[in-house]
Amino acid sequence: MMAALARALVDRPRASLQELAAAVGISKATLYRLCRTRGHLVERLVHHATTRITEAIEAARLDAAPPLAALERLITNNLEHRELTTFLIRYWQHTPTAAGVEAGWDAALDAFFLRGQRAGVFRIDLAAPALTEILVALLLGLIDAERRGRVARASLAEVIERAFLRGAGV
Amino acid sequence: MMAALARALVDRPRASLQELAAAVGISKATLYRLCRTRGHLVERLVHHATTRITEAIEAARLDAAPPLAALERLITNNLEHRELTTFLIRYWQHTPTAAGVEAGWDAALDAFFLRGQRAGVFRIDLAAPALTEILVALLLGLIDAERRGRVARASLAEVIERAFLRGAGV
DNA sequence: CTCAGATGATACTAAATAGATTCATATAAA
DNA sequence: TTTATATGAATCTATTTAGTATCATCTGAG
């Protein structure tokens, strides 16, 4: 339900509450009982999404596990929350609370890539923040590509990992 | 002006026409004279954006130039229209006219990458459409990263090209 | 079956917004 | 300076929407 609402809010940001309810198959009244205002709904979804994704990042053990194993878990864990991830990208700019969470994720990923660079696993001619952004870009972009039917769902994680680690060149 | 409106529409999709006008520094009346309805405004921006980006793609000569040179031009040409690109991503699902244009771009890029694969320039263990999506993801994601101050503007094209061709692994 | 809790349909009011107009002012070219 | 054009500020009406409440119906547990 939360995931469906997140997706509806992303697909049609200008939809009225009535349209949102219809999009997820409930009545306007039920949506109202869930969250009295649109603001509450967004707040609640942001909180839900940040919680889940923080769990996904922590479960990857970026600070201690071998870099390549941690990277793989990071990718697969995040793919399990596609709708929430795409929701956050579009909505956390409106909720100042989430800004600190984003900064925390950036810091965790930056530190992870720095560690991997020192361990000789990631290249050093791209700054660690750039590596973070490259990975996030691939995650978001290919999730969307799957939604549009351009990449098969089964191969998603594989494509992302390969593109991130080795690129498209021979 | 068009670029500013595109950006405002992306940053705050639920803004009223009055807020949009204020965001780009004009009055509601002037915005009304430019486009009488919100629908017209979106239509016009979609048309403007598709035209410009089609030009950018054609200028890259994907069908004939050496693959690596064409790729570089494709990246730099597109970076010149960041706001329009991000606008299109969010709005062309609402304008059926643009769907055909998108299909055309996909086809052009897919064919380009296929040609590059046959020429031994791009790896063949990722399908050509996947390569298209990877490049587009990097373009969009790193444009956004620059907006958030995570990647320096001057190094944008370089980072994208390197990430795309060689990835983050050593 | 019976009943409590959940849901849907509907209606209502206040607020926000879209679309359109008018008039005054500013700007720049002739 | 004069004149045409563009812009802004303010106003107005009709429509849409948010937020709220009411009542009927459905569903499942006991």
- High-pLDDT (> 90) share of chain A, %: 85
Containing structural domain, residue B67: 46-166
- Looking across all nucleic acid strands, the nucleotide with the smallest C1' to CA distance from residue B27 is D8
* Per-residue model confidence (pLDDT) at position A26: 95
Q: What is the pLDDT of residues A108-126, one digit of tens each?
A: 999 999 999 999 999 999 9
Chain B nearest CA to A48, separation (Å): 22
> Does residue B27 sit within a domain?
no
pLDDT of the residue at A14: 95
* Angstrom distance (rounded) from CA A16 to CA B20: 19
Tell me if A137 and B140 make a contact (CB, 8 A cut-off): yes
As ranges, strand C nucleotides with an atom below 7 A of a protein CB are: 7-11, 16-22
Which residue did the predictor score with more confidence, A170 or B150?
Answer: B150
DSSP chain B: -HHHHHHHHHH-TT--HHHHHHHTT--HHHHHHH-SSHHHHHHHHHHHHHHHHHHHHHHTTTTTS-HHHHHHHHHHHHHTTHHHHHHHHHHGGG-HHHHHHHHHHHHHHHHHHHHHHHTTSB-SSS-HHHHHHHHHHHHHHHHHHHHTTSS-GGGHHHHHHHHHHH-SB-
- Residue by residue, DSSP assigns B114-134 as HHHHHTTSB-SSS-HHHHHHH
When the pLDDT of each residue in chain B is averaged and rounded to a whole number, the result is 94
How many structural domains are present in chain B?
A: 1
Is A78 near chain B, with CB under 8 Å?
no
Distances (CA, A) of A61 to A38, A54, A72, A109, A157: 35, 11, 11, 11, 18
* B163 contacts on A by Cβ (under 8 Å): 126, 130, 134, 167
In a domain, B22, yes or no: no
Give the distance from residue B157's alpha carbon to the nearest chain A alpha carbon, in angstroms.
Answer: 12
Q: Which of B78, B133, B139, B143 to mutate against chain A (most A CBs within 10 Å)?
A: B133
What pLDDT is attached to residue A97? 79
Is residue B16 a part of any domain in this protein? Answer: no
Given a cut of 80, is residue A43 above it in pLDDT? yes
Which residues from B are below 8 Å from A131, CB to CB?
A: 168
Residue B21 placed within a domain: no
**In this structure, what are the phi and psi dihedrals at residue A2, rounded to the nearest 5 degrees?**
-60, -45
Nearest-Cα residue of chain B relative to residue A16: B14
| CA B18 to each of CA A82, A111, B6, B28, B32: distance values in angstroms, whole numbers, following the listed order | 34, 43, 15, 5, 10
The answer to whether residue B64 neighbours chain A at the CB level (below 8 Å) is no
Q: What is the DSSP letter of A15?
A: -
Q: Does residue A89 carry a pLDDT above 90? A: no
Other Cβ atoms within 10 Å of A69 Cβ, number = 11
- Whether B37 is in a domain gets the answer no
Percent of residues, chain A, with pLDDT higher than 70: 100
Residue A166 to residue B162, Cβ atoms within 8 A: no
Closest chain A C-alpha to B20 CA, distance in angstroms: 14
Whether B134 maps to a domain, the answer reads yes
Indicate if the alpha-carbon torsion angle B143, B167, A157, A44 is positive or negative. negative
| The predicted structure's pLDDT at residue A63 | 95
Q: A-chain residues within 8 Å CB-CB of B155?
A: 130
Measured between beta carbons, the chain B residues lying within 8 angstroms of A123 are 166, 168-170
Q: What is the mean pLDDT of residues A55-80?
A: 96
B57-70 pLDDT per residue, tens: 999 999 999 999 99
Binned at pLDDT 50, 70 and 90, residue A134 comes out as: very high
Asked whether residue B10 is assigned to any structural domain, the reply reads no
Region A45-74: what's the mean pLDDT? Answer: 96
CATH of the domain at B155: 1.10.357.10
Out of B13, B144, B168, the one facing A123 most closely (by C-beta) is B168
pTM for the structure as a whole:
0.88
Q: Domain for residue B120, yes or no?
A: yes
Of all residues in chain B, what percent carry a pLDDT higher than 90? 85
Q: Are B84 and B98 in contact (CB under 8 A)?
A: no
Measured CA to CA, the distance from residue B143 to residue A134 in angstroms comes to 11
